[in-house]
Amino acid sequence: MSDLQPVRGTRDLIGEEFRRHAHVIDTARHVAGLYGFDEWATPIFEDTRVFARTLGETSDVVSKEMYTFTDRGGDSLTLRPENTAGVCRALVTGGLTQSLPQKVFYAGPMFRYERPQKGRYRQFHQIGCELIGAAEPLADAEVIAAGWDILTKLGISGDVVLELNTLGDKDSRDAYRAALVAYFTAHKASLSEDSLTRLERNPMRILDSKNEGDKALVADAPIIDPYLTPAAAAFFEQLQAHLVGMGIPSVRNARIVRGLDYYSHTAFEFVTTALGAQGTVMAGGRYDGLVEEMGGPPTPAVGWAAGIERLSMLCNEMPKPMDTVAVLPVVGQIDPDKAISAAVDMMQLLRRSSIRAEMSYSGNLKRRLSRANKVGARYAVFLSEFGTAAVRDLISGAQIDMQAAEVPAYLQDRMR
């Protein structure tokens, strides 16, 4: 036995777990494609500044959760904690700010040093969509609709609620921030230590606090609505009208915030009560200032990211895995080698007809058959060395004889 264990907060994806994971990605990739999103893959590690600059030095992710290391060349690198920064970096370094809009889908591992628990890992996986280069509320609506359709296709939109908020434009936010500072300063004595720091640095983040005492204060804190400029209020109205038109239900949650200045207007989360404390499955919003932060021109953008582990835990309807055909050489009549090679030929024929086929590597007929049943094979094909075959339905037990050459077409009709 080995004393080696998977690193805390990491998991192996094997068998059913891998299938669920892949199903989430395949479904999301397909639906995102219908909305015109093309897949990108950016590196899993980046220059640390890609994240430090854009996520904000004071954010939890940057201050506590990043896997940062110095490589052998002395450069500070970070395993990506999320992928929006990498996509924006790639957009800028690839000169793509000249060909907008870009609609990007991605899927892959992310890394955060967190306390592992159900639905929270140190290596986890996200899918995400970014629509870069459109400032219209229709862009926000389409991004949300793509997310909604993915959840629907996965069969989980019934368990999930879309919570929607607006952070307004800069003027709205400045006015709102002043109101929040006034309110929380008046209740300073009851604020948690973390939130006292936030009051100095980033007061809106107090709305996001998980501290119970803070939550009680937050419940009575002012909301942004009276501080929205007419333009920001109109943007939010139009987004909601688009969503209604698209048949996507949402509820207002005025407590959804994003701590950083480049976030504006739309902020949203898809939330479920089915996963205990880890209830947010998909989170996103508009980040009009991020591309500029990365050294590009001012560029509007909106997107979301979703945790694949949390989605895959919610998924109850899985597509049926591919049926298998077990091929069995009937050895022993005249020439065993001939029977085996007839079976190998049949296996290749089936595979090249898009049928999953396997043969045991050793054993007599009885053992091969019991292995075929054990792996849940759907059909068994017994092959003689004379070019004939018997096809047995392993569920019903019914068996029929035919020429070997007829087997692929026979099975293709039944296994579709």
**Contact stretch for ligand ATP (CB under 6 A) within 236-244, 279-287, 363-371, 388-396:** 279-287
**Contact stretch for ligand ATP (CB under 6 A) within 11-19, 24-32, 116-124, 379-387:** 116-124
- When binding is defined by CB under 6 A, the residue of 82, 169, 293, 323 that contacts ligand ATP is 82
Nearer of residues 306 and 372 to ligand ATP, judged by Cβ: 306
Nearer of residues 152 and 278 to ligand ATP, judged by Cβ: 278
CB 124, CB 11: distance < 8 Å:
no
- When binding is defined by CB under 6 A, the residue of 278, 341, 353, 388 that contacts ligand ATP is 278
Interface with ligand ATP, residue 87, by CB under 6 A: no
**Number of shown-chain residues binding ligand ATP (CB under 6 A):** 18
SS3 track for the chain: CCCCCCCCCCCCCCCHHHHHHHHHHHHHHHHHHHCCCEECCCCCEEEHHHHHHHHCCCCHHHHHHCEEEECCCCCEEEECCCCHHHHHHHHHHCCHHHCCCEEEEEEEEEECCCCCECCECCEEEEEEEEEECCCCHHHHHHHHHHHHHHHHHCCCHHHEEEEEEECCCHHHHHHHHHHHHHHHHHCHHHCCHHHHHHHHHCHHHHHHCCCHHHHHHHHCCCCCHHHCCHHHHHHHHHHHHHHHHCCCCCEECCCCCCCCCCCEEEEEEEEECCCCCCCEEEEEEECCCHHHHCCCCCCCEEEEEEEHHHHHHHCCCCCCCCCEEEEEECCCCCCHHHHHHHHHHHHHHHHCCCCEEECCCCCCHHHHHHHHHHCCCCEEEEECCCCEEEEEECCCCCEEEEEHHHHHHHHHHHHC
CB of 11 to ligand ATP, least distance (A): 10
- When binding is defined by CB under 6 A, the residue of 51, 121, 236, 287 that contacts ligand ATP is 121
Interface with ligand ATP, residue 114, by CB under 6 A: yes
> Half-sphere exposure of 3 toward its Cβ, with a 13 Å CA cutoff?
0
CB of 81 to ligand ATP, least distance (A): 8
Nearer of residues 120 and 351 to ligand ATP, judged by Cβ: 120
CB of 235 to ligand ATP, least distance (A): 22
Give the pairing type, strands 76-79 and 67-70: antiparallel
Rounded CA separation 394/293 (Å): 62
| 222 Cβ neighbours under 8 A, 6+ residues apart | 176, 179, 180, 183
Nearer of residues 133 and 285 to ligand ATP, judged by Cβ: 285
Interface with ligand ATP, residue 351, by CB under 6 A: no
Interface with ligand ATP, residue 280, by CB under 6 A: yes
- When binding is defined by CB under 6 A, the residue of 11, 19, 120, 177 that contacts ligand ATP is 120
Identify residues 193-232 at the interface with ligand ATP (CB under 6 A): none
Structure tokens at 54: 């854009």
CB of 216 to ligand ATP, least distance (A): 19
- When binding is defined by CB under 6 A, the residue of 133, 147, 168, 307 that contacts ligand ATP is 307
Q: What's the distance, CA 199 to chain centroid?
A: 33
- When binding is defined by CB under 6 A, the residue of 283, 301, 326, 383 that contacts ligand ATP is 283
Identify residues 137-196 at the interface with ligand ATP (CB under 6 A): none
Interface with ligand ATP, residue 305, by CB under 6 A: yes
Task: Name the closest residue to ligand ATP (Cβ).
Answer: 307
**Contact stretch for ligand ATP (CB under 6 A) within 14-22, 113-121, 133-141, 161-169:** 113-121
Structure tokens at 18: 């891998």
From residue 26 to residue 65, the character string flagging contacts with ligand ATP as x (rule: CB under 6 A) and all else as - is ----------------------------------------
CB of 44 to ligand ATP, least distance (A): 15
CB of 294 to ligand ATP, least distance (A): 18
**Contact stretch for ligand ATP (CB under 6 A) within 31-39, 168-176, 215-223, 274-282:** 274-282
Query: Which residues are at the interface with ligand ATP (CB under 6 A)?
Result: 82, 112, 114, 119-121, 124, 126, 278, 280-283, 305-307, 309-310
